[in-house]
Amino acid sequence: MEMVASVMGISQPTLRKVYFTEVAAREVMALKVKSEQLARLTDAAIGGNVAAEKALAGMIQAEQLRSVGAKIKERGRAEPAPRLGKKEAAKEAAAKASGKYAKRNPPPMLLN
């Protein structure tokens, strides 16, 4: 990173700042271009252009596949258990104790 900053003639903190700004701007521009392309294809398809209809159908299908793929990828992933504090963890460990230190049910009867 130091070499890239020196080649560009800027400091490393400036490079980091500009880099993240550029990446965010690139993602926004990609979405804008895609939306404009979809608008043009839609207009052409409404006008009767068969090639535009096929391209639009392909883009819609690709987006549906991406959506389904994301759902499948997330399927079966359990949400992580909430982290417990020290006291809660100790109480949980005590409740799960077994053997000599296990909780007795029912407690022993008094012999008086």
Is residue 73 within 8 A of residue 59, CB to CB? The reply is: no
How many other C-beta atoms can be found within 10 angstroms of the C-beta atom of residue 74?
Answer: 8
User: CA 51, CA 44: separation in Å to the nearest integer?
Assistant: 9
Instruction: Count CA atoms within 13 Å of residue 16 on its CB side.
Output: 5
| pLDDT one-digit tens code per residue, 45-78 | 999 999 999 999 999 999 999 999 988 888 777 7
To the nearest whole percent, how much of the chain has pLDDT over 70?
95
The more confident residue out of 21 and 72 is: 72
| pLDDT one-digit tens code per residue, 23-51 | 678 888 988 999 999 999 999 999 999 99
What residue ranges do the domains of the chain occupy? Answer: 2-101
pTM value? Answer: 0.45
| pLDDT one-digit tens code per residue, 100-109 | 777 777 766 7
User: CA 84, CA 92: separation in Å to the nearest integer?
Assistant: 9
User: Could you identify the residue written with the tokens 């890239």?
Assistant: 4
